[in-house]
Structure 1
Amino acid sequence: MIRFGKYNDVGAGENGLPSFRGAMGSKASSAPTTSVMTAGKGLRPGTVSLVGSVVIAVSSVAPAYSLAAVLAGMVAAVGTKAPALFVIGFVPMMLTAFAFRELASETPDCGSAFTWATRAFGPWVGWLAGWASVVAATVAVGNGAQVAAIYLLKALHLNALANSMAAQVAVGGLAVIGLLVLCLRGIEVTERTQAVLVALQFVMLALVSVIALVKVCGHHAGPQAVMPRWDWLFPAGLSAAAVAHGAILCFFAYWGWDACLAISEETKQPHKNPGRAAVLATILMLGTYVLVSFAIQAFAGFGITGIGLNNPQNANDALSILGDPVAGRGLAVVLLLAISSSSLASVMTSLVKTARGVLAMAVYRALPQRFARVHPQHRTPGFAVLTIGIGGFTLYLVMTLVSQNSLTDMVASLGLAVTFYYATAAYACVWTYRRTLRRSARNFWLRGAFPLIGAVAMTWAFVQSAIDMYAPDYGKTHFGPVGGVFVLGMGLLLLGIPVAALSALGSRDFFRGKTLNAGTEIVVPDSVAR
């Protein structure tokens, strides 16, 4: 555990929330005060296993839906080299996952990026990191519900309703209500539900991939098919612009593995398992994406008609269209259900993860205290869960009424928020451990070099994305000479500054560095650690 000097005890205040006393209660000074913060926050400790933590991380990534959404776009950007881009995109994600693992090993806190960035760089940077995480997940709630509704209706052969916005909103709204109920019932219910949804995804992805490759190798896939090639795994011949475009899509495909860090305080062996789960989830995603992209490219081919990956009609879904040709009508329906369940799992994890991040911000007095309320029986942050769920779906409804194109561009802009808080956490790792990097080769590489490379890669992705999104023809909307994706993405991120200023009016202790700073030692009690 990191110790930053002498400290004072933290007792329990009203409603079971921590109370800060000793140095925390003294008048603010230019030097950071020191204190102890006891982790727990009213959640149920020692509930989620390592396997359950991996399941929650993977479910947040939503591999089935992510593949359906990005593969055709990647093929358009890099041709046959999509598998190579999944490998390239994996590297900064893995390096960033090392940073999360090292920080979680010392400070397993459900605030994750918010908590670590605040301790490293102060309250304003930390608040913006937490805001970016909350914004990304909140926007994803409504979009994920819509996607789940569309594929569910298609699986039921209700194609007319699947194309109806009213039906999408109605079914998506019912899905959000159901997921809110499950989230409010406790982390155990969430873990069991996610296990079922994740199992369905992986069984179908593996089955479709194996059948597709067997048919291709046996020359039974049709004239559009091409034999898979090992050079698909190597990015030779690609331009820097093509790699940048494909890598940004990859970041979207991998985003979400950090969800397991938000349940650190509810995980068995919280100093080890959440970080392990993050790394294992990224490795599992790499294997899945390479296998499925190989199989889909080989079976569908690169034609501009039919199931070809360069057919513009397949731009938004390069996976479900292969269900019938590859596996037959019966399994095609199950594949549609797998994509729907993938989106549902992602929405559920977004609710769980973001609510706990908001809980941490409230416990440290960065948000109103009502967000820190935890249900006495189910041990869930009920008010935070409801706020994220209702707020996310309301935002989706508003954007739908304004313009379907605006909603699409808002979802496309999430890469800015994601890369911002990933990079901030990775930089926080390097800064937090800067004085210990020379003590061992392990410290140098896992707490210094690797996180720094990951942070720089994420920074590059943020800058490159912003430059690309600024163009008026990027996305489906624009505001004069500026692309709508850029306006929405940067607008949502920068909105955190005035919101933080408003929060500072009612949460002065946090923004003065009294409730969380570099001198705050976050202690996990034995009942949690074991």
Structure 2
Amino acid sequence: MRNATDAEAETGPVPTPAKGLRRGSVGLLASVTLGLSCVAPAYSIAVTLGFVTLTVGDLAPAALLLGFVPILLTAFAFRELNREMPDCGTTFVWTTRAFGPLTGWLTGGWVVQVATYIAMTALSQVGATYLLRLLGLRSLADSTLAVTVTAVALLAAVTSIAYRGLQLSASVQYVLLGLQLAALLGFGAVALGRPGAAVPSTDWLDPFAFPAPGPLAEAVMLCLFIYWGWDALITANEETRDGERVAGQAAVLSTLVLLGTYLFTAFAAIGFAGTGTTGTGLGNPENAADVLATLAPSVLGPTLGRAMELAVCVSAVSALLTSLVGSSRGTLSMAAHGALPAAFARVHPRHRTPGFGTLFAGATAACLLALFTAVSTDFLGDAILCVGLLISCYYGTTALACVWHFRSRLRDTPRDLLLRGVLPLLGGLMMLAAFARSAHDMYDPAYGSTAFHGVGGVFLLGAGSLAAGAVALAVARTRFRSFFRQGRSAVAALTITED
């Protein structure tokens, strides 16, 4: 066991303490696959593109491009921090090293986990709904009880896969991601080749063509959500070959693949359907909830159109699996560093996975799904919307942690100044601006589907999650005194070992 001082942290890489995970399980391709899978590209673009188009019309590709900018800048921060501290705790470890255990536990631990659990409830519900439709059980797909039971069954299935090891998870993800990308690219290619389809215009990418800052901000906020999730791949850095280098490369590469896929799909959808407010037009509010399901039969025909439904179903299940992988490794790191109960640090002797953490994540998501559904289906929808607030919070904090951690080395080389200073700083400020904008918009009782005493339900859920985190932090300080006393150096020392 070794304790590192703050001075040591600022002058060289922090050794990664062994936690019992199977090292060298995956390479660059598998890492990129895990990152893309957690984003759920088919599901994300299907349920977001319509709302973006309703907001800014045929400038939706420009909004996708602008929303990508803070994501890419944040990805650079993740890459540089991973090179320095390749720990599966990622954001928890990095923000703790930069800003201390209070910030690290709350924003790098609690916020990340809560956002993931809420997202998993949505993914399991979407996957269950589409699965029932694909099986021809449309009456059951309209039943809240049937969807909830099927969603819990899906959670159990993917939890079992994640429990058995990262190699199995990655192998399954190759197939699931391949189906998604094939469906999206096939849809786009056919749509652009249809008679009467408009030729994509560079004007659709013009960032200066937005009529007002309000619609632009709203559209960019929607786009932030569809890029979220790629950072899950970095939680597998201790199981990745040459993880301190490869995981960071995979983070940047996966975001670029997402941008290309989303832009191609958006160009194809707008070119084929236009932005009209009737029929299949993307400006029709009735199409906004799932534009690909609306357009697929017209583009691909009724038989192949079902392939798009399959892609969205697969996308949700795939993201669910990767979310479990990332969540369990995050809690493993927190426990290994003494910030959570030791049970979370238990690694299965044969599968070499965080067994308790994986089961806990799956069970927690299932309980949240049942709770939200029991309260109201509208409540579940608002819970999903509040995730944007949590995303911008921990992405922004992590980007600023990069700048602060490397502050003494920013003048060493132009590369350090740019990639460890300027770009992460811009990304962090953009993310925190998005956080402030989200909080302002969500406060409006008209935002989302619920309200309480004139305050938007989405805001109350988001702010409530942060407030609950503050209470949990107060409790954690009484139970894990050693971690909170050690401060920034705590995450450089292994407090629980696995043979």
> Partners in 2 of 1:86 and 1:344 — Cα distance?
24
> Partners in 1 of 2:156 and 2:328 — Cα distance?
15
1:476 CA displacement? 0.4
1:151 corresponds to 2:127: no
1:304 CA displacement? 2.2
After superposition, give the CA deviation of every residue in 1:105-130 in whole Å (9 maximum; x if it has no partner): 11111100000000110000000121
> Partners in 1 of 2:149 and 2:310 — Cα distance?
18
Q: Please, which of 98, 103, 107 is the counterpart of residue 125 of structure 1?
A: 103
> Partners in 2 of 1:133 and 1:519 — Cα distance?
20
2:79 aligned counterpart, secondary structure: helix
> Partners in 2 of 1:174 and 1:520 — Cα distance?
36
1:237 CA displacement? 2.9
1:323 CA displacement? 1.5
After superposition, give the CA deviation of every residue in 1:441-470 in whole Å (9 maximum; x if it has no partner): 000000000000000000000000000000
TM-score scaled by length of structure 2: 0.95
- Give identity over the alignment, percent: 44
> Partners in 2 of 1:144 and 1:179 — Cα distance?
12
Correspondence list, 1:191-340, <5 A: 191-215=170-194, 218-219=195-196, 226-238=198-210, 239-340=212-313
Aligned residue in 2 for 1:18 = none
Is 1:122–1:513's contact at 8 Å kept on the other side of the alignment? no
1:485 corresponds to 2:429: no
Residue 228 of structure 1 aligns with an amino acid whose one-letter code is P
2:46 aligned counterpart, secondary structure: helix
Q: Please, which of 46, 51, 65 is the counterpart of residue 73 of structure 1?
A: 51
Q: Please, which of 309, 314, 323 is the counterpart of residue 350 of structure 1?
A: 323
Q: Please, which of 159, 162, 165 is the counterpart of residue 180 of structure 1?
A: 159
1:396 corresponds to 2:369: yes
1:157 CA displacement? 2.9
1:38 CA displacement? 4.4
* Aligned CA distance change for structure 1 residues 456 and 108 (closer, same or farther; 3 Å): same
1:374 aligned counterpart, secondary structure: coil
1:81 CA displacement? 0.4
After superposition, give the CA deviation of every residue in 1:326-374 in whole Å (9 maximum; x if it has no partner): 1112211111111000000111111110110011111111111111111
> Partners in 2 of 1:519 and 1:387 — Cα distance?
25
After superposition, give the CA deviation of every residue in 1:193-213 in whole Å (9 maximum; x if it has no partner): 111100000001000000000
> Partners in 2 of 1:232 and 1:152 — Cα distance?
35
User: 162-171 or 245-254: which moved more?
Assistant: 162-171
Residue segments in structure 1 that go unaligned for 5+ positions in a row: 1-8, 11-22, 25-30, 220-224, 524-530
Is 1:184–1:385's contact at 8 Å kept on the other side of the alignment? yes
> Partners in 2 of 1:192 and 1:355 — Cα distance?
19
> Partners in 1 of 2:290 and 2:230 — Cα distance?
22
1:399 CA displacement? 0.8
Structure holding more helix per residue: 2
1:109 corresponds to 2:87: yes
> Partners in 2 of 1:412 and 1:462 — Cα distance?
13
1:360 corresponds to 2:333: yes
* Aligned CA distance change for structure 1 residues 103 and 124 (closer, same or farther; 3 Å): same
Residue 473 of structure 2 aligns with an amino acid whose one-letter code is A
> Partners in 1 of 2:429 and 2:285 — Cα distance?
34
1:156 CA displacement? 2.5
Is 1:34–1:520's contact at 8 Å kept on the other side of the alignment? no
Residue segments in structure 2 that go unaligned for 5+ positions in a row: 495-499
1:166 corresponds to 2:145: yes
2:416 aligned counterpart, secondary structure: helix
1:439 corresponds to 2:412: yes
RMSD of aligned Cα (Å): 1.7
> Partners in 1 of 2:473 and 2:296 — Cα distance?
47
1:179 CA displacement? 0.3
User: 297-306 or 379-388: which moved more?
Assistant: 297-306
1:32 CA displacement? 5.9
* Aligned CA distance change for structure 1 residues 519 and 502 (closer, same or farther; 3 Å): closer
1:417 aligned counterpart, secondary structure: helix
TM-score scaled by length of structure 1: 0.89
1:44 corresponds to 2:46: no
